[in-house]
Amino acid sequence: MSGFRVGDSCDTPGCQGSFENERDCSCHIRPPCDGCVEPLLSCSECGRDPNDEATSCA
Ligand SMILES: [Zn+2]
Ligand SMILES: [Zn+2]
């Protein structure tokens, strides 16, 4: 996992957005839900997924 979390500022140069969780929380049904345990992050402005680059590590 990367160090990015929900609410962190986007690291794309010039982007003013912040990362949000694309997954819906269903903790009211079965906590902790996948959305909270393994959030799917994307920038609110540019849509960047900070975890997309995890493959660069050989
Ligand atoms: Zn949840
Ligand atoms: Zn962004």
Give the Å distance between the CA of 22 and the centre of ligand 1.
12
- Give the environment of ion ligand 2: residues with CB less than 5 A: 10, 12, 15, 17, 43, 45-46, 48
What is the pairing mode between strands 41-43 and 19-21?
antiparallel
Backbone angles phi, psi at 51, to 5 degrees: -90, 0
Give the Å distance between the CA of 13 and the centre of ligand 1.
30
Q: Which long-range contacts (CB under 8 A, 24 or more apart) does 31-39 make?
A: 39/5, 39/6
Residue labelled with tokens 């345990």: 37
Nearest ligand for residue 23 CA: 1
Q: Is the pTM of the predicted complex or chain greater than 0.85?
A: no
With 90 as the cut, is the pLDDT of residue 55 above it? no
With 60 as the cut, is the pLDDT of residue 58 above it? no
The per-residue pLDDT for range 14-23, each reduced to its tens digit, is 999 999 999 9
Share of the chain above pLDDT 70, in %: 86
43: how many CB neighbours lie within 10 A of its CB? Answer: 20
CB contact set of 24 (below 8 Å; sequence gap of 6+): 35
Give the Å distance between the CA of 2 and the centre of ligand 2.
16
Spans of all domains in the chain: 1-51
With 70 as the cut, is the pLDDT of residue 54 above it? no
